[in-house]
Amino acid sequence: MQASKISQDETESDAESVFNSFQAYLNIGRHLLFRKDYKRALTYLDKAQEIEPTHVDCLLMRSTCNLYLTNNDRAINLAKSAYELAKKNPHVILLLAEAYYRSGEFEVALKYFTNGKRIRSSMEGFTSGIHKCEEAIQNNCGKGTEPKLLPDLDLTNYYSQAFSVKDSPSNSSILEKKWEQDKWPDMMPPEILRKIFGKRYWELPYIHEIYDSEGKREVHLKNIGLSQFDDLFPRLNRCKANRQTVRECADHLKTKAELSYKIDPTLKHASSL
């Protein structure tokens, strides 16, 4: 009787260890992660981590789930915990770099992508990561500057180029900038614009005509002077406002045309309609 009870207790204990063990939770969480069910995967992976707090693979999977759920700060913290445990693991470094990149911390991400490439140069993720970080830094800090990393990955040299001290703008440069703002935007050839906008192409020459007409009216009012109109300044301001409005419309159409031109390569061979 007593032996039977002991045997039953051992059986229940074995069953409990199978269904509630770290490996069971980890396997279920991994399966759900591969199925892209990230929220449910975290439920099991969190339970597994409670049993094995220092398991690197579990930390990586939890970080990955949070990354896909756009919980970037949480993903970074988990990846950093894994990094403290396995600083030479390329998968840890790659995940940490990607988490920083998605958080917009491109300089830090670049540091880890570069470090990872030194450890495992065969992993394509590090090469593409370095490239996209450099592009993001250039887009945010201005073109014409290429990060030149010192051996200790110091970005001081890069920042000295990106944010160089400039002289205060002269009057001539201010006038040139104002002239550029008042100028009608340079457009693509009409045959390409017709193909992009189709039947709505007529809107572009129409607003251009309004722009020219308001400009001529503004010059005419200035030539007449105050002796003819008591409301000269309100009229001038109205002309300027109208020209600015149609110029903004033209800028919008130009942006749309340039985007369509980049997306559809067939437009580069457009013939006159």
Indicate the residue among 91, 111, 141 that finishes a domain. Answer: 141
What proportion of the chain, given as a percentage, has pLDDT over 90?
26
Q: In terms of residue numbers, what domain contains 242?
A: 182-267
pLDDT band at 136, cuts 50/70/90?
A: confident
Average pLDDT over residues 151-175: 46
Dig out the tokens for 165 from the structure: 């001290």
Confidence grade of residue 40 (pLDDT, cut at 50, 70, 90): very high
Q: What token pair was written down for 74? A: 């949480």
Is pLDDT above 60 for 170? no
Express as a percent the part of the chain with pLDDT over 70: 64
* Residue 137 belongs to a domain: yes
**What's the whole-number mean pLDDT along residues 233-258?**
74
The reported pLDDT for the residue numbered 82 is 93
Domain match, 131 and 224 both: no
* In the predicted structure, residue 216 carries a pLDDT above the cut 70: yes
Residue 34 lies in a domain: yes
> Is the pLDDT confidence value at 8 over 60?
no
pTM for the model stands at: 0.47
Tell whether the model's pLDDT for residue 75 goes beyond 70: yes
Residue with tokens 């390569």: 265
Mean pLDDT, residues 195-223 taken together: 73
CA distance 221 to 238: 11
pLDDT confidence of residue 138: 81
Domain boundary (119, 141, 163) is at: 141
Asked whether residue 190 is domain-assigned, the answer is yes
Q: Looking at 25-39, 61-75, 91-105, 205-219, which range is the least confident one?
A: 205-219
- The least confident of 2-11, 64-73, 165-174, 223-232 is 165-174
Residue 31 lies in a domain: yes
AA identity, residue 229: F
The rounded distance, in Å, linking the Cα atoms of 133 and 139 is 10
Q: Is the pLDDT of residue 23 over 50?
A: yes
**End-to-end Cα distance, the chain:** 98
Residue 30 lies in a domain: yes
**Average model confidence (pLDDT) across the chain:** 73
Distance CA 35, CA 30 (A): 9
Domain identity same for 137 and 186: no
pLDDT-based confidence at 100, cuts 50/70/90? very high
Using only C-alpha atoms, what is the Rg of the chain?
A: 32
For residue 29, the domain's CATH number is 1.25.40.10
Does residue 191 share a domain with residue 136? no
pLDDT for residue 197 is more than 60: yes
Give the span between the Cα atoms of 134 and 208, in whole angstroms.
39
Residues 136 and 188 in one domain: no
CA angle at 61 for the pair 25 and 153, rounded to the nearest 5°: 155
Residues 132 and 33 grouped into a single domain = yes
Instruction: Yes or no: say if 245 and 211 are a contact pair by the CB < 8 Å rule.
Output: no
Q: What is the mean pLDDT of residues 180-197?
A: 69
Pick 195 or 178 by higher pLDDT: 195
Which tokens in the block code for residue 189?
Answer: 């050839």
- Residue 129 is predicted with a pLDDT of 87
Residues 67 and 136 in one domain: yes
Q: Which of 84, 117, 141 is the last residue of a domain?
A: 141
146 domain residue, yes or no: no
Closest to 211 (Cα-Cα) out of 247, 248, 180: 247
| 50: pLDDT strictly greater than 90 | yes
Structural domain contains residue 14: no
* Mean pLDDT computed over 28-39: 90
8 Å CB contact between 187 and 257: yes
Nearby residues of 252 by Cβ (< 8 Å), 6 or more positions away: none
**Residue 270 pLDDT exceeds 80:** no
Residues 63 and 126 in one domain: yes
- Domain count along the chain: 2
